[in-house]
Structure 1
Amino acid sequence: MAAVSVAAEWQLLYNRYYRKPELYQMQWKHVDLTRNKVACAPFGGPIAAIRDDAKIVQLYSESALRKLRIFNSAGVQISETVWRNAGGRLIGMAWSDDLKLICITQDGTVYCYSFHAELIKTLSLGQDGLKHSIVECVFWGNGVVCINEAVELYCIPDFNNPSPIRLADTGLEDMPLCMAVIEPQYTMSGNVEVLLGVSDSVMVVEEDGVQQTGAEIGPIQKMVVSRNGKLIASFTHDGRLLVLSSDFSNIIFEYTCESALPPEQLAWCGMDSVLLYWDDMLLMVGPYGDPVRHLYDEPIVLIPECDGVRILSNTNMEFLQRVPDSTVSIFQIGSTQPAALLYDALDHFDRRSAKADENLRLIRSSLPGAVEACIDAASHEFDISQQRALLRSASYGQAFCSQFQRNRIRDTSRTLRVLNAVRHPDVGIPLSIQQYKLLTPSVLIGRLINAHQHLIALRISEYLGINQEVVIMHWACNKITSSLAIPDADLLQILLDKLKLCKGISYAAVAAHADKSGRRKLAAMLVEHEPCSSKQVPLLLRIGEEVTALAKATESGDTDLVYLVLFHIWQKGPTMEFHRTIHARSLARDLFICYARCYNHEFLKNFFISTGEIQDAAFLMWKESWELAKNPMASRGSPLQGPRIKLIENVQKLFSETREHVFESKAAEEHAKLLRMQQELEVTTKQPIFVDSSISDTIRTCIVLGNHRAALKVKTEFKVSEKRWYWLKVFALATIRDWDALEKFSKEKRPPIGYRPFVEACIDADEKGEALKYIPKLSDPRERAEAYARIGMAKEAADAASQAKDNELLGRLKLTFSQNAAASSIFDTLRDRLSFQGVS
């Protein structure tokens, strides 16, 4: 009997059954669809209603102010706001994919409202405003196309990135009979295609072109594109319903209606049939067989879904859908399918009838399929008692079926519990199983939290094993915004009690929202509970807790975080305060010094001075002086050399303030003095060869240039010793080959370095004759012997060596003259003589 009662409500369209269960009795009051513009979101989404200003209505007891009201699908009001927009008449209204309400007014202004009737943003279809009023809008998922009085088409392809574009010029003078849109995802170009019913054909308008198609099928008075973009249902001027391919090349089927008056609404019911609605009749037409008629004594709104159509009236919400095959197999009158017998077997089992066992024996080979059919039929049911009966049948059959996935009933039960929860009138989201799978659980949870249904969203997340962080985060942020009267300490405890339920939740994100809401103290208390330093520190900086942020960053050991805090404090506060803040923290101080050494010496120098680290500042300035020396503009006699000398003089002053750096102070003083003298020499000689050379090189260069007075001044100024002075002058004079001056210099007084440097200087210059002037003056016979040998005088070298009575020297000198046999014999004779004398 139960099967008869269920199937009796179905209607047959050719060979397919359709049913129209009631989802809700609408709970709203004083909402008349004839007097309101209504926008209904798919997937059981919300309903927006506003009084239609295009119609003359009697206000009764209503306020003269127009209100935009938002309800759930059961008619429970969620929010409302006064409609104050001054953009003229409201032309179009629809919900975007992410449940933002889009309203377009006559002047081309687009208003975007949230789920809670809060104005999010506004924009205009034209950059400088439209010259002509908007006449009609066609929405799709996340976009809209509008046409104005001048037959110009404007498009917003994506409300998330709204950039209005004007489509190609249609060239039309009169308004088209109808308009439809093929979404970008179903077009070859990837751009929206607008279909305009023009005369007896259809005009396809894109951003970059216009083309005519569908000749001699019109005039078309109404068009609607199927959900997959492949088919178009159209109503012609002579009362025919045509279903065509989207390129208008093929007529799929045709049906002649009883009236040539175009329907108020035309909609697809899934992909199997088309609905046409006139004042009091809803006509459902399929490709075969007679149509099905539904009569209504009140206005309705058709809401297409992926698997049917929701029908909204003033009093209730229904869902017109094709009856699933599994349900037909069970409840069709007279059905002998295995699933029907299994369902019947459970009924007999409950009544303790032996017929139950008989039914099971009949379908034993088909039992897995029967169990699957019962599970599938249960998933498509809206009635909870019917779901339970079907699942019990499946469970009963599964007990006798070893070859069946045991988790199918569990998974379906889990899904149905979720669907039944969100279908409750207080939530008002009447999703079917197919819609739920297409929408996905995560999106459903997102919609629930946007509707502030946090508790059920949390329970569903927990039940399905989905991360609850998103739900708790949204609840916490909403709690902060809506609890301005609760003291910070009390609200903190309320938040912590919930936030601790979710491990790894971002306390910093909640604290950021508290700061954004103007509750900085609460934000500071919340961020203390954030375990992740990379999230905690930036927020502490944002709320002005720089010292705490530096401490947390230092504790974390993350140098990037420390640098983040340092730069923030550096740019924000006074310099001295920055110095005091980092001086006591070694890691922060060391990192700052490391950075400043590379990029900002001046700031680092001031830091060292302000913290009393005089020697560090001095060493830094000294390094700066050498860096300055690398700049060719600051050396080589340039006036820019002055600042460098001044810098070194300042270094000397700093070093002189400490007892531990006497040497450095003296070195800096002499360095500055030398640089100053070298600069003067470069200026006077116009030769950029003095700066940064040593004292010895400076003296040598002066002598080479003939500036003996300057050389003597450098010697005196830096207390150069006589021996060093002689060495430098000897080789300098030899370099310029001033042999007379060299000889004169050797006779001024007995050289403190002896005459050997004179000899070496001459020999190095390959002047043997000059060397002979000084070799006889060498007091050591060994030195004389070696000097004579170097200039090739073997006999004189032998004589000097014999005076030294040194066999080893004679042997060395013999090797020097190994190529000269006569010279070698002289050295052999001398060695024999010395050996003989030693023996005797």
Structure 2
Amino acid sequence: MAAVTVAAEWQLLYNRYYRKPEIYLMQWKHVDLTRNKVACAPFGGPIAVIRDDAKIVQLYAESALRKLRIFNSAGVQISETVWKNPGGRLIGMSWTDDQILVCITQDGTVYRYNIHAEPIEPNSQLTLGADCFTHSVVECVFWGNGVVCINEAFQVYCIPDFNNPKPVKLADTGLEDFPLCMAVIEPQYTMSGNVEVLMGVADHVLLVEEDGVQEVGLGIGPLQKMVVSRNGKLLASFTHDGRLLVMSTDFSSVIFEYPCESALPPEQLAWCGMDSVLLYWDDMLLMVGPYGDPVRYFYDEPVLLIPECDGVRILSNMSMEFLHRVPDSTVSIFQIGSTLPAALLYDALDHFDRRSAKADENLRLIRSSLPEAVEACIDAAGHEFDVSQQRTLLRAASYGQAFCSHFQRDRIQEMSKTLRVLNAVRHPDIGIPLSIQQYKSLTPAVLIARLINAHRHLLALQISEYLSMNQEVVVMHWASTKITASAAIPDATLLEMLLDKLKICKGISYAAVAAHADKNGRRKLAAMLVEHEPRSSKQVPLLLSIGEEDTALMKSTESGDTDLVYLVLFHIWQKRPALDFFGTIQARPLARDLFVNYARHYKHEFLKDFFLSTGQLQDVAFLLWKESWELSKNPMASKGSPLHGPRVKLIEKVQHLFVETKENFFESKAAEEHAKLLRIQHEIEVNTKQAIFMDSSISDTIRTCIVLGNHRGANRVKTEFKVSEKRWYWLKVFALATIRDWDALEKFSKEKRPPIGYRPFVEACVDANEKGEALKYIPKLTDPRERAEAYARIGMAKEAADAATQAKDNELLGRLKQTFSQNAAASSIFDTLRDRLSFPSVS
């Protein structure tokens, strides 16, 4: 009996059943669709209503001021605002995919509102352009996130995406009269990726794009109405002689045509899913399919068709209905006379409830098909709007599952979850009448986003928790909304309210909520909120943005994150005077050290100021000394007077600073001698006209002076820097050998007994390959070992052997033998001497 009652409401279109359940009785009052412009959002979205200024209507008890009112799909008012927009007559109004209400006026101005009737700025800057201001907009065709408009000059403009609203002028149509009808193929369904506009003109259709215009469908017109299917592949049209034509959007083939009873074009033309087309006249709704007789529905009040992905919602002054194809699973259960497994399972539950043995008989009949029957009952439950029917179908599925060992056990649980969510949002107070197919297409995440945008935070939170989704999005939006709407609540009270809810989500960004508070002018609240943010990387930048630099520096140094510390340092550095900045970082060792490290490489002057302000004179001195060496790389630094040259001045400043510290005696003395050496080197360069002395050592300066014959300069450096006699002799010996002045070397050796002995003289001569000169000094070597090695170096084996014999050193003889290994006669001499030393004579 129940099956008969359910199926009695269906209509058969060829071999497919359709049903039109009433979803809501509209809760609004005194709303007449004929007197208003109405825009309904898909996916059970909101309804925008405003009095139609193109019609002369009688005002009853209402104000003469036009109001834009927004309702949910059950007719519960969400918001309203007075329509103050001065752009002339309202031409078009529609909802975008993001549930933004777009209103286009006669002068081409585009106004946008959110679901709370709050204008989205900047409205004043968004227009279709000067052409539409000069030549009024006549008609608009909306889709998803875009719109196409035609003005009185037959120019076509398009905004492809309201998220990035830039008007685009399409190709010149060349029209002299307005098209009979317009439709659009959305960019996602075109080859070019741009919108294509179809215009019914005379006996053909103009296809208008940004790049050009072409005539298509020659001979099929004139067309009075056109509408493109949701997948962009089919076009339904109504001809001048009363035929419904369905063809492909490339006009290559006609799918079917149906002669209607009237040549008067319908007020509305819409697709019902992909299986049928709806035509609406003022009292009749005609549903036409590709085969069989059409279905007629009669109305005694105006209706508005709202296409959905799986059907059409029908809005009237009094009710909201949903016309859609009956799912196959529902047909298999409730079709009159059905003996399919699903119908028998449903019937078995009824017998079971009445304690009839017929229940067992039904189960035996369908035992092999029980999984399919259970699945059909679950699927049918998902497509039901009636809660009691959902429950009965799920009970039937559960009853069948008890006798089915190979069925996926969580399917009933999944469907129960889905239906609980759908029933919650379908409640008239919420008014989102989603079907299960729409819900899957929309996705739970988008549904939750729409709920929070409608300020239904509690329901959104409950659904998020129920579906094990991230609740942070809901809580964050609630917190932001609460801050915006609670200007009168004291900061401390509001903080407690926020913290109570924010703690629901672990890891939630308190910094983001604090940033919103700061944006709304509640800096104290922001500072209190950011204290609860555990992540320094989010906490510190916000503290800087709200002017809490000292706290930010403390938090960043406590975190140990050097990047964060540098972020704070650079921020404070730019905002505060230098002395304040120095005082701030001096108390924090990590911040101070990082600043010093950075400034040492890039900001020397600033670092000097810092060291001076903190009394670190030795550090200033070292910086200046480093600068002096940097100056040495500049060839201009050595020119001019050494007493007033930049490098010498710097080094003198270094010396004075070291003297002041009283703890850097060595550095002070080194700086003093460095400056003195630079002066002397500069004078020598001037005298010798050889720019090769600056920055060389004392030893190199002496050596170079001797090589150049500037003995006066060498002696001056020796005297000024108290060079020791030994060092002086070493330097002069090798310098004279370098210039091969052997007479001067011999003379120098005879001035007095050399403090370094004669070995350096020998080495200098040998290194210069002057054996004869070396022989002048070898006999003067007092150590026989040194004499032996010296003779060996110049190849005199016998003399080397004699000296080694005097030394009585067996090891030395062995080494010398190795030296003369190529000379057999010399080797035998050393062997004889070694034998003699090994066996001393017996007295």
What TM-score does the superposition give when structure 1 sets the normalisation length?
Answer: 0.91
Letter of the 1:136 counterpart: E
Letter of the 2:49 counterpart: A
Counterpart of 1:20 in structure 2 is 20
Q: How many residues are matched?
A: 839
| Residues 538-617 of structure 1: pairs in structure 2 closer than 5 A | 538-617=541-620
Deviates more, 1:396-405 or 1:106-115: 396-405
Letter of the 2:31 counterpart: V
Q: Deviation of residue 126 (structure 1)?
A: 5.1
Structure 1 residues 818 and 141: alpha-carbon distance in aligned structure 2, compared to 1, 3 A threshold: closer
In the alignment, the residues of structure 2 paired with residue 802 and residue 55 of structure 1 have an alpha-carbon distance, to the nearest angstrom, of 137
Identity %: 82
Deviates more, 1:292-301 or 1:211-220: 292-301
Q: Deviation of residue 697 (structure 1)?
A: 0.3
* Residues 445-492 of structure 1: CA deviation (Å, up to 9, x unaligned): 111010001111111111122121111111111111111111111111
In the alignment, the residues of structure 1 paired with residue 807 and residue 345 of structure 2 have an alpha-carbon distance, to the nearest angstrom, of 134
Structure 1 residues 834 and 326: alpha-carbon distance in aligned structure 2, compared to 1, 3 A threshold: closer
In the alignment, the residues of structure 2 paired with residue 786 and residue 18 of structure 1 have an alpha-carbon distance, to the nearest angstrom, of 120
| Residues 17-416 of structure 1: pairs in structure 2 closer than 5 A | 17-121=17-121, 122=123, 123-124=125-126, 130=132, 131-416=134-419
In the alignment, the residues of structure 2 paired with residue 504 and residue 434 of structure 1 have an alpha-carbon distance, to the nearest angstrom, of 34
- SS of 1:442's equivalent in the other structure is helix
Equivalent pair of 2:11/2:295 in contact (CA under 8 Å): yes
In the alignment, the residues of structure 2 paired with residue 581 and residue 209 of structure 1 have an alpha-carbon distance, to the nearest angstrom, of 66
Q: Identify which of 708, 715, 735 aligns with 1:732.
A: 735
Counterpart of 1:477 in structure 2 is 480
Equivalent pair of 1:636/1:688 in contact (CA under 8 Å): no
Equivalent pair of 1:240/1:254 in contact (CA under 8 Å): yes
In the alignment, the residues of structure 2 paired with residue 412 and residue 133 of structure 1 have an alpha-carbon distance, to the nearest angstrom, of 52
Equivalent pair of 2:637/2:645 in contact (CA under 8 Å): no
Q: Deviation of residue 794 (structure 1)?
A: 7.5
Query: Alpha carbon RMSD of aligned pairs, Å?
Result: 3.3
Structure 1 residues 307 and 832: alpha-carbon distance in aligned structure 2, compared to 1, 3 A threshold: closer
Structure 1 residues 719 and 317: alpha-carbon distance in aligned structure 2, compared to 1, 3 A threshold: same
- SS of 2:166's equivalent in the other structure is coil
Q: Identify which of 666, 669, 673 aligns with 2:672.
A: 669
- SS of 2:193's equivalent in the other structure is coil
* Residues 605-637 of structure 1: CA deviation (Å, up to 9, x unaligned): 3333333333334334434444444x3446665
Please state if 1:503 is matched with 2:506: yes
Deviates more, 1:603-612 or 1:749-758: 749-758
Structure 1 residues 679 and 181: alpha-carbon distance in aligned structure 2, compared to 1, 3 A threshold: farther
Structure 1 residues 372 and 812: alpha-carbon distance in aligned structure 2, compared to 1, 3 A threshold: closer
In the alignment, the residues of structure 2 paired with residue 602 and residue 66 of structure 1 have an alpha-carbon distance, to the nearest angstrom, of 68
- SS of 2:664's equivalent in the other structure is helix
| Residues 400-799 of structure 1: pairs in structure 2 closer than 5 A | 400-629=403-632, 631-633=633-635, 637=639, 642-746=645-749, 748=751, 751-768=754-771, 770-771=773-774
Letter of the 1:70 counterpart: I
Q: Deviation of residue 741 (structure 1)?
A: 4.1
Equivalent pair of 1:346/1:356 in contact (CA under 8 Å): yes
Equivalent pair of 1:636/1:689 in contact (CA under 8 Å): no
Q: Deviation of residue 81 (structure 1)?
A: 2.1
Deviates more, 1:600-609 or 1:23-32: 600-609
Structure 1 residues 166 and 751: alpha-carbon distance in aligned structure 2, compared to 1, 3 A threshold: same
Deviates more, 1:633-642 or 1:615-624: 633-642
Q: Deviation of residue 87 (structure 1)?
A: 2.9
Equivalent pair of 1:223/1:234 in contact (CA under 8 Å): yes
Structure 1 residues 726 and 521: alpha-carbon distance in aligned structure 2, compared to 1, 3 A threshold: same
Equivalent pair of 1:44/1:429 in contact (CA under 8 Å): yes
Structure 1 residues 574 and 322: alpha-carbon distance in aligned structure 2, compared to 1, 3 A threshold: same
Equivalent pair of 1:637/1:683 in contact (CA under 8 Å): no
Structure 2's unaligned 5+ residue stretches are: none
Letter of the 2:310 counterpart: D
Structure 1 residues 665 and 352: alpha-carbon distance in aligned structure 2, compared to 1, 3 A threshold: same
Q: Deviation of residue 46 (structure 1)?
A: 0.6
Structure 1 residues 513 and 814: alpha-carbon distance in aligned structure 2, compared to 1, 3 A threshold: closer
Letter of the 1:530 counterpart: E
Q: Deviation of residue 544 (structure 1)?
A: 1.9
Letter of the 1:669 counterpart: E
Q: Deviation of residue 299 (structure 1)?
A: 2.1
Equivalent pair of 1:637/1:691 in contact (CA under 8 Å): no
Equivalent pair of 1:182/1:193 in contact (CA under 8 Å): yes
Structure 1 residues 84 and 707: alpha-carbon distance in aligned structure 2, compared to 1, 3 A threshold: farther
Deviates more, 1:352-361 or 1:271-280: 352-361
Q: Deviation of residue 443 (structure 1)?
A: 1.0
In the alignment, the residues of structure 2 paired with residue 335 and residue 225 of structure 1 have an alpha-carbon distance, to the nearest angstrom, of 36
Structure 1 residues 703 and 277: alpha-carbon distance in aligned structure 2, compared to 1, 3 A threshold: same
- SS of 1:196's equivalent in the other structure is strand
- SS of 1:274's equivalent in the other structure is strand
* Residues 410-456 of structure 1: CA deviation (Å, up to 9, x unaligned): 22222111111111111010111111111111111111010001111
Equivalent pair of 2:270/2:305 in contact (CA under 8 Å): yes
Structure 1 residues 383 and 795: alpha-carbon distance in aligned structure 2, compared to 1, 3 A threshold: closer
* Residues 622-667 of structure 1: CA deviation (Å, up to 9, x unaligned): 34444444x3446665899943333333332332233432112211
Structure 1's unaligned 5+ residue stretches are: none
Structure 1 residues 364 and 744: alpha-carbon distance in aligned structure 2, compared to 1, 3 A threshold: closer
Equivalent pair of 1:619/1:651 in contact (CA under 8 Å): yes
In the alignment, the residues of structure 2 paired with residue 470 and residue 278 of structure 1 have an alpha-carbon distance, to the nearest angstrom, of 45
In the alignment, the residues of structure 1 paired with residue 822 and residue 5 of structure 2 have an alpha-carbon distance, to the nearest angstrom, of 135
Equivalent pair of 1:637/1:688 in contact (CA under 8 Å): no
Letter of the 1:764 counterpart: D
Q: Deviation of residue 805 (structure 1)?
A: 9.0
Q: Deviation of residue 595 (structure 1)?
A: 3.1
Equivalent pair of 2:145/2:161 in contact (CA under 8 Å): yes
In the alignment, the residues of structure 2 paired with residue 406 and residue 820 of structure 1 have an alpha-carbon distance, to the nearest angstrom, of 104
| Residues 817-828 of structure 1: pairs in structure 2 closer than 5 A | none
* Residues 659-702 of structure 1: CA deviation (Å, up to 9, x unaligned): 43211221122122222332343345443322221101011112
Equivalent pair of 1:380/1:432 in contact (CA under 8 Å): yes
- SS of 1:660's equivalent in the other structure is coil
